[in-house]
Structures are given as structure tokens and as C-alpha cells.
Structure 1
Amino acid sequence: MGSVALNGSNITTGNFTNQFVQPPWQVVLWSVAYSSVLAVAVFGNLIVIWIILAHKRMRTVTNYFLLNLAFSDASMAAFNTLINFIYAAHGDWYFGEAYCRFHNFFPVTSVFASIYSMTAIAVDRYMAIIHPLKPRLSATATKVVIMCIWALAVVLAFPLCFYSTIRILPRRTICYVAWPRKEDDPFMFHIVVMVLVYLLPLMVMGITYTIVGVTLWGGEIPGDSSDNYHGQLRAKRKVVKMMIIVVVTFALCWLPYHVYFIVTGLNKALMRWKSIQQVYLSVMWLAMSSTMYNPIIYCCLNSRFRAGFKRAFRWCPFVQVSSYDELELRATRLHPAHQSSMYTLSRMDTSVVTKDLSAFERGMVVATRRTGICVKNCNAAGFFFHAQRFPCVSRTVHRPKDVQPT
């Protein structure tokens, strides 16, 4: 991922004549296009990072992974987007051997971290919705998962750093990966990267989101019509819908890139086609642009992120932050998972809880479920039974204290 495969295949040692000279107007257009990606991606993802870190309510399992996704996207946009364009447009490497190694190494690392952060979110949503009573990831465990993702990314991309070098030719300097077996290694490595960093995680996310989608949109629990139930269902649907759009956007942006390298790897004669440079610049721009769409998606589809963006741009005269927007970022949950004195029941929970209760208590549980109110720990007049007698089995019971649902 980067300019390696394109330029590494065009190494020549004779007199250099650049067949890819572009007219000035094309260079200007491509410069504007790549600069726009850089500006929007870095600025937008930095705002996402600020929204999550500056507001305690936003520090959830899903948002920790979104934070990692924003960091990797902003980093790749900052360190690789313009460098890729300059090298692809001019065919001359100006940045030295150390940055050549980093330039070939970091994109694979960053994309690996991005897509496996999305995969972790998909698995977390699957566990939260399909297996709601099983323990959820804590904040500490989430950070460990993120560190493991980056460690695996470094291992996968290390060969690119190890074999990268520069070569000084009569009229230019090139940055490329000097594979031990020049013919087969580049193509085989890209196949491995495509499987591990594209096909495999997309398959996992496709399966998990299909199951989650069938559960959330396929039907509702009969008889459970409380406002609390429908509110939670709508919230879960919104989060899943947003993440599906993020994943589909990523997949569409990177698909032409992988197709390009598969086709040119199988037919190397295409690398001498005069228009191949424009094709490369197009697919590379589309792939790099994947780093700038997520903040826009969050702002459009998530009310809390939208409130955060309003706060970030509150200095603009046409942006107004309402009291509702402030409440979205500052309010705490009404029913914290770690408080044993307050809990809610759904229809599915009732059958689990009532088996050890008296007829009167079972009637109270059913009445509570139908009205959608909370059952509180209260010994006054013995009207409500003690929380120790009536264990909490709500869908948030196992969620750790330091993590709240998105």
C-alpha cells in the first residue's frame, strides 16, 4: 500500500525519459484533490478524537475503537497522502531512505489498525445485541485489544520496512521494496495483505452485521411495547446502521485499489501503458479518501457526535449549540449498570427472574414490565422486595463500571 508497487516495477538503469509527464492543469487538479483529502481527514478525525477524549460520556467501548480508527486515519492522511501524490506525479523520490522505509511501512500498519478496529466494533455490537447477558469488554480490556491490533499490524508490515531502499539513477531517485525474489514476492505479499487486511475482516463484519441486522430489524419481542424497549431498540439500530455505512464506505474505497494491483501484477505490460499513471492516481485518491468520510458519517448519523462537532465549530456565526446539544454530551445515564438498587426488566428477562419468586412477586414483575417503570430497592412497607432477593438481569448487568453503552 503506497507507491511501491507502481514505481518499483518501473526501475530502469538506462537513459531516463519520463513517459508520465502531465500538463500543468492536471497537476493542479490532482494537487487540489489530494490536498482536500489531507485537510478534511486530519481536521475531521482530530475533532472526533477531541470529542471522545474531552467528554466522559463518550468514553464507551465502541467509541474507544472509533478513537483508534480516527487516529490511524488521521495519521495515514498526514504522513502518506501528499507524499504518495508527489512521488506518483513526478516519479522522483525527494525524501531520503529513512522516510522511504516509513512510507512503505506505515500505510499497511494504519489500514490494518483501521479495519480491525471496525471488526472489533462489529464483534462488540454482536455480543451486546445477540448475547446481552455475557460480560462486556472493560475500558482496560479494550485498550489491550487496541494495542494488540497495532502490534499485529507492525508484524505484518515489517517486511516492507526491512526491504525498502532507495536507488539513485542518472536523472532521478526511486523508493522501492527490494524483495529477495523480485518476480514473485511483490504480488504474493499483496495477496496476503488483501486477504488479511481486506477480505477476512470484511467477511467477519458481513457475518456479524447480518446476524445483528436480522435480530434488530427482523422483528420485535411480542407484547413488549414499553417506551424504554423501543428507545433502546432505536438506539441500537442507529449505531449498527452507522457502522455498516462506515464499513461499506471503506470497502468501496479500497476495492479499486486492490483490483488495480491484482490486474497489474498479472499483466505487467500494463505498467507501460501511458494512461496507467492517471489510473493509479485515481485509485490511490479513492483509497486515501476513505480516511476523510468517517467524521462526516458520524456527524450526520449520531446525535452525540453532531453535538460535539457543533461545540468544536461554535465560534462560527452560523453554528448554534443548543441546550439539547450540551445535554447530549454531558448527561449521564439514568440507570447506571453498577447500581444494584435500580434496574429495568424486559419481556425476555421476566421468565428468568420470576421462577424463584412468589405469585405476588411475579405479579409485580409482570406489572412492572407492562408499565415500563423501574423497580427500586425499597423496604418501606415491604411493597418492593429487596434487590438481593431480586437479582438484576437486565441487558446491562454485566457491563463494567467504567464503560457505558453508546
Structure 2
Amino acid sequence: MGYNRFGSNEAMEENFYLDRYYALHYKEGASMLDGLPEELKEVVDPHWGQFPPQHPFVAHLGGICYLFLTALSVFGNGLVMYIFLKCKKLRSPTNMFIVNLAFSDFGMMLTQGFPVGVGIFMSPVWPYGAFACKLYACLGNIFGVSAIVTMVVIGYDRYNVIVKGFSGTKITAGKAAIILLFIWVYVVAISIPPFFGWGGYASEGVLVTCTYDYLKDDWNHKSFMLWAFIVNYCFPLCVIIYFYSGIVKAVVSHERALKAQAKKMNVDSLRSGTEQNAESAEMKIAKVAITNVMLWFTIWTPYATITMIGQFGNRSLVTPLVSQLPAFLAKTASVINPFVFAVSHPKYREALASELPCLGIGNESKPSEEQTVTAKA
């Protein structure tokens, strides 16, 4: 005797069960869709019926991970929003982009991580019904794409300051508000077409989460997925690479110019005393820029690849775990972003040390030149 999916001993004999050693037993021909509630068939593709029942511990482990990520995201992004909005010196127009990124990540895990983490222990499949599955997927798309577009805007802001310098466009409070309004109108507009007949949302992987319906063969779904792949992944990736590669080139070029000038003047460096630290600070700008691009690429590429394989490639490669793991990896962005875009901000660390010294982050001393230069990144 042991765990059963359907709550009765008869069902245990007819479908599958766990023995006292937690080994999964199921009859020949059993599939993930056995016993699937009728109301969920609308959002579950027959593709998943070719796979045998998944060990419940896989889903339970995922539920624990989702709840853990939710706690980290809510804490980390909540701190970012609290500090940046409370401290007057941090309430600059461009810093509102960091606040918007934190809000997007906060909303992502609150609407995506918590329902799944709880739901997994309520039912072996999505427990909230077909419409809630579509709404869940739509909200995930809204908050996820909002975070992506906001990272593009942050990249532009840093490019504008570091590469363009005084010739760059100054972002005022009004311009920042317009940009933020555009971001949210844009992400909602590109996320709701499935509710109006273009594309669709459906359950995925081990059937505990929902996302784009990337397994339908008709051109309606294919065209939507191709469009989403371009506007949600390819275009943002190209723009981010352009901005941050420009930042790296500008920093490297500046360092080269300083060294050339120092050589002409027959000195080791044009900097002296504490200014020597500025050199490593400028190189840190380049390292942070490269890190931003690599993290973005690493986190989102597996998920984008799976959706394209499911839509245009060999679908036999899209197994439940192969589908579920990239979706989970994409959620980790909401935990990483506060550290990449906020904790690396020296003024944020200074304010955090002042407001919440119990965290032991940063210090209250006056920022050095190294910190000042790093803040521009």
C-alpha cells in the first residue's frame, strides 16, 4: 500500500501506486493522462499521454523549490522596492526602472511560484481549472516579458550614460513615466492574444504549471509562437547585446587611451593615491555588463529552445522533465535580478546598510571614487 493518485484502493490497483519503499508501480500502457479531470482536457495536449505517470516526488520536490524561490524573490525584490522608494537620494527617474524590474520579478513569483508550490500538494495535476491555467500563463507572460523589456531599458540607460556621456539623452521623470507606461501597455498587448483566438495557453511538463501552447500543429498557434519567440526573446537579446557590447568597448577604449597617455608622459598611471582604484572600477563595469548578458542568455535560452522544438522540431524530445526544467530555470531570474541590478548598486548597498543594518550588507561610509564609477554602470 502507499500513495495513490485518485484517493481509493481500487484506483491504486487500476492505475499506479507507491509501495512502502517509494518505488512507483503502474500497469502497462498507463500514462500521465490517466484519471485527468474532464475540465482540464481543454488545456492539456494529447502529447503528454505518450509518457508514463511521473513519480509524485518529482512534483513535490518542484513544489518545495517553487515555494523557496517565491520566498527569496518576495524578500529580495521587496527590499529593492522598499529601499529605492523610501530613500529620497535613490528616487531618481532612471532608478525607477530598477524598481519596475523588482516589481515585475515580485509579481512573477507571487503569481507563479506560490500557486504552483501550494497546488502541487493539493493535486498531482493543475488543481485550479482550465481558465485559471490560461490566466496563470498570461500573468507569467506579462510579468516575465515586463522584466525582460525593463532589462533592455536599463541597458539603454547605462549605454546612454557610459557611452554617450554628456551627449546622451537625459531621462527626466516625465520621460521615465512614459517609458514605464509603454512597457506595461506593450507587455499586456502581446500577452492577451490567446484570449482572442490567436495562439493559446496550456499546461506543460508534469502538468503542474501552464504556459504557451507550443504543441498544436495549426498555423494559428505556430504563427503566434514564432512571433512570441521573436519579440520576447530574439529582439530583446539582440538589443541587450548591442547596448552592453557598446559599454564594454567604451570602457576598454577608455582604459587603452589612459594607458597610452601615461606612456607618452613617461608615468605608470595618470591616477594617483586613491584614484588608482578607479581603474579596477572601470573594468568592473565591463565585467558586470558581460555578466548581465550571459545570465540573460543562460536563463532564457533553454525555455525559448524548448518552445521552438515543441512547435517546429522533433516533439519526441519534449519530455515532461525536459519541458518543466527550463520553465523552472526561467523563474530563477526573479531571484537573481535583485542581486545583479540592485545589490551591485553602491548607493543601494549604502542605503540598505543604513536602513537595515541587521542584514550586514554594505557600509555607511561615503562612497569612494570606485563606487561612484561603478554606480554609472
Calculate the TM-score normalised by the size of structure 1: 0.64
**Could you report, residue by residue, the CA deviation over 1:67-99 in whole angstroms, capped at 9, with x for unpaired residues?**
1111111101110124456479833442563x3
Matches within 5 A, 1:248-263: 248-263=294-309
- Matched positions, count: 313
Give the structure 2 partner of residue 220 of structure 1.
Answer: 257
Choose the corresponding residue for 1:189, options 217, 221, 224. Answer: 224
Deviation at 1:160, TM superposition (A): 2.6
The 5 Å alignment of 1:287-298 reads 287-298=330-341
- Provide the C-alpha distance between the structure 1 equivalents of 2:290 and 2:208, rounded to a whole number of angstroms: 42
Note the C-alpha offset of 1:238: 4.3
Q: Is contact 1:126-1:209 (8 Å) kept? A: yes
Please state how far the C-alpha of 1:214 moved relative to its aligned partner: 1.1
Conserved? CA contact 2:81–2:99, under 8 Å: yes
The percentage of aligned residue pairs carrying the same residue is: 19
Cα offset, 1:233, TM superposition = 7.0
Partner of 2:235: 200
* Residue from 115, 132, 138 that aligns with 2:148: 115
- 2:184 is matched with which residue? 150
Partner of 2:257, secondary structure, is: coil
Q: Secondary structure at the match of 1:201?
A: helix
Whole-angstrom distance in 2 between the partners of 1:102 and 1:322: 43
1:86-165 matches, within 5 Å, as 86=119, 90-95=124-129, 97=131, 99-134=132-167, 135-163=169-197
Query: For residues 190 and 315 of structure 1, do their structure 2 counterparts lie closer, same or farther at Cα, with a shift above 3 Å needed?
Result: same
- d(CA) in 1 for partners of 2:279, 2:234: 30
**Preserved CA contact (<8 Å) 1:80 1:107:** yes
Larger Rg, first or second structure (1 or 2): 1
Out of 50, 53, 56, the residue aligned to residue 85 of structure 2 is: 53
1:26 is matched with 58
Cα deviation, residue 26, structure 1: 2.4
Q: Which segment is superposed worse, 242-251 or 276-285?
A: 242-251
Change (3 A) 1:204 1:174: closer
Structure 2: tracts of 5 or more residues without a match = 1-40, 263-268
Going from structure 1 to structure 2, the CA distance change for 1:269 and 1:24 (only over 3 Å counts) comes to closer
2:142/2:191 contact within 8 Å kept:
yes
Q: Which amino acid aligns with 1:132?
A: G
Evaluate the alpha carbon distance shift between residue 236 and residue 75 of structure 1 in structure 2; reply closer, same or farther with a 3 A threshold. farther
CA RMSD, 1 decimal: 4.1
* 8 A contact 2:201–2:211 mirrored in 1: yes
> Residue in 2 aligned with 1:41?
73
Residue type at the aligned position of 1:30: G
